[in-house]
Structure 1
Amino acid sequence: MDPHLLRTFVTVAECGSFSAAASRLGYTQSAVSQHIAALENDLGTPLLSRRPVVPTASGERLLEHAGPILLRLDAARADVRRTVADPPSTLTVAASPLAARSLASRLAEVRRSHPGTELALTVCGRAEVVEGVAAGTFVLGLTDGITAPTDPLHLSDAVHLHTTATSEEDLAVALPKSHPLASRRGLSLGDLVDARWIDAPDLAAPLTALRAAAGSDALHPAITYNGTDLHTLLALIEAGHGLAVLPRSAVTEDLAAVALTNPRLVHRTELVRTDLATPAAKSLAATFSNHQ
């Protein structure tokens, strides 16, 4: 299976359009159509319905494999290049939105100790941090999520990365102060099965993770927020669009923050990296050990 064809297929499935995929990939629409036809011929089955452009049942199954396959290839390419290329002159760092809050002082330390180092910080989604570090786009990443106390985050089955826990924090249910449950000292997910939820997968605890932790499919979003701006999410909560589970420190005084008591979960932040080739990268990684 040609990885170039596979990447084209994934892009078309994401865009829902051959022309949009061609624009993203820098191909002609005819070339994209030829890629999809060649892949379908190789596998002996249609992968995309054309009107509308959506994956078939076979295409859905291929998508489950495609992400890990392409990530593994990107990671292999980056790993080989690191053996022959000079260390990068710019320290590229990625962080998920909540994890980025702890970076400012640490980047200042690196600039003081390595004044000639150029820094580039990208704030992006949790999966993008992990995939970018694996693919060599970023030297270091800082990502976050929810897990049982002391358990590591589940980041990727496709590649192995070095991870270091940098912090763990209690979780709280963020809700308007006028909400009937705002005066409670603690809440379980069982108390909230009928609540209006905001699903913000790159900021709050994703509802998929909360359902898995609760062993219930009863938590449903009233609204999905795919952005990465914490202030926007908090404004949505304050306006009554729904609840969200966040680390306690992320909830402002304008909202009520009621401890999540059951199931017992924590907000965990982890440093993600491959091999560190520059003194500046090693210094930044060391600041997380020094501050724990």
Structure 2
Amino acid sequence: MDLRLLSSFLAVAEEGHFGRAAARLFLSPPAVTQHVRRLETDLGTPLFHRNPVSLTPAGERLAVHARMLLAAANAALEDVTQAAEAARAVTRPLRVGIMGHGSAELTPAAINAYRRARPEVPVEIRQLDYTEHVSALVGDRVDVAFVRPAPDDERIVSDVLTTEQRIVVVPARSPLADARHTGASLSDVADLPFFQLPEHTPRVFTEYLYFGGPPRRGTPTALTPQEVLTGVVTGGAAGSGIKSFARYYGWPGAVFVPVLDAPWESTHLAVRADDANPEIRIFRALTQALARNPVSRPAN
């Protein structure tokens, strides 16, 4: 049975008037009249007395069933709508931000573990530059972020994932390049021409880059590891990082030198402190578990 016909019939029954029923349904009076006549034809009996409009005995019985049928149809529609909204919420992508190479081999291991655990949730990978150490999360551009060092912002919480020796990257022609195997000291790297960072780069990241000292002026400006290495091999600039940087960015003409007396630095998984998204909790738990049981990685 066409539910539109039942809706028109019930509106006339409740309003006691074809015109008012039409206005209530945002239909024309002839359309409502046609709906009622089609029902009467299908059922083979009058449903209304005309002039004045009132229900016949058959119409009274149909009104009872019509209310139940329309209520059930509305409930079914609401249930399906809610299920669809829930499905859309589940399939919202989890946006993973990665600064540089993230936490080395742990980063792809965590992403792949999450994909196996939650295959129905799309994962979007977004590369972060050095100025997005905090802003990508605060600006809701990513849901989780592999960064270093720990963000200094009360809106963000982070978990330590890996801890590594510090290194500097210099051109092969630099006098410091000879220390690639023996290592250098903080005093050896104090005057290196480290690349510049934009003024809006978080302070904690500039302190990390410059080993806790004041920002130095150098050329060129760099926002990504690729830009750092380009500046190193073409402009004689210098960069700093952690030991695994050398495994991921082995550019010809760039030499990686351990800084023996620099404090080791940790990589972090950062999330918004107030984010209740259950998918973030799942990703965070999987990553923490992997960090406690490190994935194998090549020696260097």
Provide the TM-score with structure 2 as the length reference. 0.54
Find the aligned partners of 2:236 and 2:110 in 1 and give their Cα distance. 35
Partner of 1:187: 184
Partner of 2:59: none
Shift of 1:117: 0.7
Partner of 1:170: 165
Shift of 1:171: 0.9
> Cα deviation per residue 1:216-269 (whole Å; 9 max; x = unaligned)?
66x43132123x2x234223312352111121221227432221134x223321
Correspondence 1:277 to 2:277 = yes
Distance change (3 Å), C-alpha of 1:261 and 1:87: same
* SS of equivalent to 2:289: helix
Partner of 2:107: 103
Q: Give the counterpart of 1:124 among 128, 136, 141.
A: 128
Deviates more, 1:115-124 or 1:247-256: 247-256
Distance change (3 Å), C-alpha of 1:117 and 1:183: same
Partner of 2:195: 198
Find the aligned partners of 2:258 and 2:90 in 1 and give their Cα distance. 45
Matched-pair identity in %: 16
Find the aligned partners of 1:160 and 1:141 in 2 and give their Cα distance. 14
Q: Which runs of 5+ in 1 are unaligned?
A: 1-85, 146-152
Matched to 1:94, the amino acid is: G
* SS of equivalent to 1:115: coil
Correspondence 1:257 to 2:256 = yes
Find the aligned partners of 2:131 and 2:227 in 1 and give their Cα distance. 21
Partner of 1:247: 242
Larger radius of gyration: 2
Find the aligned partners of 1:109 and 1:193 in 2 and give their Cα distance. 41
Find the aligned partners of 1:212 and 1:233 in 2 and give their Cα distance. 16
Q: Does structure 1 conserve the Cα–Cα contact (< 8 Å) formed by 2:193 and 2:218? A: yes
Find the aligned partners of 1:291 and 1:260 in 2 and give their Cα distance. 27
Q: Does structure 1 conserve the Cα–Cα contact (< 8 Å) formed by 2:220 and 2:235? A: no
Partner of 2:285: 286
* SS of equivalent to 1:183: helix
Q: Which runs of 5+ in 2 are unaligned?
A: 1-88, 292-300
Provide the TM-score with structure 1 as the length reference. 0.55
